[in-house]
Chains A and B, each alone.
Chain A
């Protein structure tokens, strides 16, 4: 396992050593490849039983969720077990504003949904972030369920039947993109099977995937900007030693609230995307089991490592689709995975930079006495 993450970090290091323009070009090419995945339909990766585009959409969507939750759990160290609540607020705000009580265009609904979710994050966080860590987990769990129950029981918001006819993003038509089909390992352009660029409809998941992927890229960008700033430092300091951080002038409560609100907003964005793709949402889609799934993604990926959580999100979404026999036992496997990881690899698949730096530094300086006062052989 260390070999795997070592491999990735080796690549990352060599990558960082390249001149800037080379890095930019490589990244652009990589991005292009990722955008074209559902078109290319590579033989070993594609999911034969289900719509590859739809699966990729879900991968991108859950990557977004994982990034948002990573801010809360990974950066600020707050255990949130009710993230599905934010997801639901986002989705149902879009539903209410775009379908059941008004007919606002989607591009207006999404920012409004993010604002609504952000507000709910602050409303939840303000009283509860003062509470002890393990209690916070339970309170957020309760919050997630309260949201769902409120939605089921309040007809004005949703009712048990949910909301349908959710608006799609605006469509226009520029050209058709033909898909690639494979016979064995030879590729053929299939001119019958095309994707309109850019039409959003129920029949084709791929434009939705592109939309979600674009959001992921934007959030990744912003995440990096956040981390390399006073905000990121404050979160890390708070996480390391909250009292000492506060004594060094960090208004820890405000930053914890900020982490919560940021995570909430990203959750709201994800929920909105989910709503517009599904076109029909129902409170049953937003059960607690998803909160746990999201937490699993962050922990499995390596809390605090934005790439790690994306890898975990993609893996945990794609694998049950690719290997269909896993699907039925999906949650059982998640449970087992969580236990096994907690015992054998608590730092996750790709531990965050700080844990890795610490490990490297320890290996380089074998005969120092570390903070615990223990001589390291």
Chain B
């Protein structure tokens, strides 16, 4: 308990930072669920691919210690690489694992199975890096791509600088970058869903796909767009994750995905603002739980929170609703 009180502000702010990562990834889950009523298990891999893309691109650019404008430059490149890759992977997943099922009107259980299969396929593909490299005689690339199942560190190094204090915690520049970029992305998304034609299309399909189709909304396009947006958000989250954690691996998506899904459910699945709230709440709760019970129990906090929410308030903190006008 002492730990919690002493470090309250540190726990809270770093919790919010990691919560921002959860929140952005949760957006992907909640969007797809709102539109397709499907839990996109492979979203965790969308996130993971984004992180690898950022690492590789920055490695190729020779990023090391950086400050000032150089740092900003590298960050922008990293973000873009991650977001673009994640977006593309999300579209691939939709095309390969879900669209054929929609065409066949498959029952939801089958869609879930396909989702699980997609998740494994994509993560194992990444974890298999050594073999294909050998087959294609590309061993030279190995130092860049890293060995298959180990941690791959981010080469870009940001000097942790204390920027300003909040009570007894010195907020670092990394915290600011992470929280700042998260807020920017969230605002952009919020405006997009509420104001743009495509955003309205998403809300329409989420509420009633048939009616939306009758009103001229192209369902397939809306679905692709949903996956794309979710993917891009996850890519941004991937870059933020790299800044905070420093390494990535082929199954980095797994635990994070479950936590992000928990966050989505916590806030109310299908509810975009809910995903954000859920993410922050989870990040902070996790930290508090770790302080109270010991760090090894942090992951358990997420699962237990998930079960409690599903049992006592399955509609989540903010209630379910992609269709309703609250973005």
Q: Do chains A and B touch in the complex (CB under 8 A)?
A: yes
The verdict on B189 contacting chain A, using a C-beta distance below 8 Å, is no
One of A113-121, A126-134, A197-205 at the interface: A126-134
With A128-B310, A135-B310, A292-B120 in contact, is A339–B300 under 8 Å at CB? no
A-B contact pairs, 22 of them (CB 8 A): A77-B109, A128-B310, A133-B108, A134-B39, A138-B265, A138-B310, A142-B307, A149-B300, A153-B300, A288-B254, A299-B113, A331-B124, A332-B120, A332-B121, A332-B124, A334-B120, A335-B117, A335-B119, A336-B121, A338-B113, A342-B106, A346-B110
Partner of B299, one of A127, A131, A145, A342: A145
The verdict on A295 contacting chain B, using a C-beta distance below 8 Å, is yes
Partner of B114, one of A127, A132, A133, A339: A339
A128 and B120 contacting across the interface, CB-CB below 8 Å: no
Given contacts A133-B108, A138-B306, 14 further A-B contacts (CB under 8 A): A77-B109, A128-B307, A135-B314, A138-B261, A139-B306, A145-B258, A153-B297, A334-B120, A335-B118, A335-B124, A341-B113, A342-B111, A342-B113, A346-B107
Which residue of chain B is the closest to A288 with respect to CB atoms?
B254
Beta-carbon contacts under 8 Å, A167-204 to B? none
Instruction: Tell me which residues across on chain A come within 8 A of B101, comparing CB atoms.
Output: 342-343
The verdict on A33 contacting chain B, using a C-beta distance below 8 Å, is no
Partner of A342, one of B110, B128, B300: B110
Instruction: Tell me which residues across on chain B come within 8 A of A138, comparing CB atoms.
Output: 39, 258, 261, 265, 306, 310
Q: How many chain A residues touch B (Cβ–Cβ < 8 Å)?
A: 41
Complex CA distance for A149 and B301, rounded to whole angstroms:
11
The verdict on B160 contacting chain A, using a C-beta distance below 8 Å, is no
Instruction: Tell me which residues across on chain B come within 8 A of A152, comparing CB atoms.
Output: 296
A211 to chain B, nearest CB (A): 32
B109 and A338 contacting across the interface, CB-CB below 8 Å: no
Report A's interface with B, CB cutoff 8 A: 77, 79, 81, 127-128, 131-135, 137-139, 141-143, 145-146, 149-150, 152-153, 288, 292, 295-296, 299, 328-329, 331-332, 334-339, 341-343, 346
Instruction: Tell me which residues across on chain B come within 8 A of A337, comparing CB atoms.
Output: 117
Tell me the number of A-to-B contacts counted with CB atoms below 8 Å.
120
Which residue of chain A is the closest to B304 with respect to CB atoms?
A146
Q: How many chain B residues touch A (Cβ–Cβ < 8 Å)?
A: 44
Question: Is the contact region of chain A dominated by helix, strand, or loop, or is it mixed?
Answer: helix
Question: Is the contact region of chain B dominated by helix, strand, or loop, or is it mixed?
Answer: helix
The verdict on B72 contacting chain A, using a C-beta distance below 8 Å, is no
Instruction: Tell me which residues across on chain B come within 8 A of A331, comparing CB atoms.
Output: 120, 124
